[in-house]
Amino acid sequence: MPDIATLFLDAAPYRLRPLLPEDATALHNLVNDWEVVRMLSRLPFPYPRDLADDWIAATLAMHRAKQGYHFAILDNQNRFMGCVGLRVETLPQIGRVGMLGYWVGRPYWKQGIATKAATRLAHWALANLDITRLRATVAQDNAASATVLERTGFKAIGTDRQMFIARGTDHPVTVYEMTRTDINMPQTLPATRKLVLVSAAALVDTEGRVLLARRPEGKSLAGLWEFPGGKMEPGESAEAALIRELHEELGIDVSRGCLAPFTFASHSYTTFDLLMPLFLCRRWSGTPTGREGQALAWVHVKDLRDYPMPEADLPFIALLQETL
């Protein structure tokens, strides 16, 4: 995880950066507004000035503890316009969940700022944090915020009641959720399905560990771990495609003779069918490096299920555990 001092997220034309102590005055000036605070469950009204200092210090502590990530929303002139962030919580039978929240100062409403900031943070979080999903709650009289979440890719999953400190009472809320499969989901399904051919490798080192690569932000199912490989080009054999992909993605050279056919997986996704042969490989030249920004992990086969994977990769785990 990047150090907080270097964690900047581009949400063009805006940018997100960690909150700093010097943001306290601007934060207080914007959030100490009844029309803003009444839609935020945890904030009092009036909002005391010293609470801004305390909150910013708390966000920095949460980041260091990997319990939360909170950002100032800035324009291209570095004007402070609001905040977006999430807390990491562990829910029974669900696991680690990112609880998303945001607000924008009233002078900046109706410019799409919250949607861009929430979308950017949601995609970053699902690609880089060890969470199963994102959740958010919206007061049922806050139609604008509900629209932000729906445009970001969240789906309503139920209702609840939540205490709103500024209002002095609990209030009905809608609960929204977003998973990795919700990112870039098409609004309409194609009339015909296509078959996607992918070639993958289980690279095994001298300790019997298998290499996994984490899908980077910008790709479908970002944040999940998979066996390295990629799509076959037209007219390309599975072996040739895998040799090419391993060089492009990991910077290693593999000969055809070092690839041992192992098994294959077939899976139907929402918009396409996938067929993926898996090869075992124990010899290569070079040191595997994530050349596309993807994180890598050498994993003992007994621990493979600790790494969330795309559904197509899951059948490989049991076979590898029996073989290696």
Q: Could you report the per-residue pLDDT of 48-76, keeping only the tens digit for each?
A: 999 999 999 999 999 999 999 999 999 99
Determine if residue 318 is left, alpha or beta; phi over 0 gives left, psi from -120 to 50 gives alpha, anything else beta.
alpha
Domain boundary pick from 182, 202, 224 = 182
In the predicted model, what is the mean pLDDT of residues 271-288? Answer: 95
Query: Are 116 and 217 contained in the same domain?
Result: no
pTM of the model: 0.86
Average pLDDT, the chain: 93
Q: In terms of domains, do 136 and 171 share one? A: yes
115 and 201 share a domain? no
Q: How confident is the model at residue 191 (pLDDT cuts 50, 70, 90)?
A: low
Q: Say how many domains are in the chain.
A: 2
Query: Using one digit for the tens of pLDDT, what is the confidence trace for 137-160?
Result: 999 999 999 999 999 999 999 999
CA distances from 63 to 20, 38, 71, 83, 96 (A): 12, 26, 10, 15, 15
* Tens digit of each residue's pLDDT (9 = 90 or more) over 301-315: 999 999 999 999 999
Q: What does the alpha-carbon distance between residue 63 and residue 50 come to, in Å, rounded to a whole number?
A: 21
Q: Could you tell me the pLDDT band of residue 178, with boundaries at 50, 70 and 90?
A: very high
pLDDT of residue 188: 56
Q: Which residue range(s) make up the domain with 157? A: 4-182
Regarding whether 161 and 35 lie in a shared domain, the answer is yes
Residues 220, 142 share a domain? no
- From 156, 182, 208, give the residue that closes a domain: 182
The verdict on 9 and 81 lying in the same domain is yes
- Type of residue found at 51: L
Q: What's the one-letter identity of residue 214?
A: R
Q: Is the pLDDT of residue 187 over 60?
A: no
* Bridge partners, 104 (sequence order): 82
Residue among 308, 123, 284 at smallest CA distance from 226: 308
Mean pLDDT within 187-201: 79
| Distance (Å, whole) CA 229 – CA 268 | 19
Residue 5's pLDDT is: 58
**Residue 272: pLDDT above 80?**
yes
The answer on 272 and 211 residing in a single domain is yes
Which of these three, 152, 182, 212, is where a domain ends? 182
The answer, yes or no, to whether residue 167 has pLDDT greater than 70, is: yes
Residues 152 and 199 in one domain: no
Residues 163 and 223 in one domain: no
Q: In the predicted model, what is the mean pLDDT of residues 89-108? A: 95
Mean pLDDT of 211-240: 94
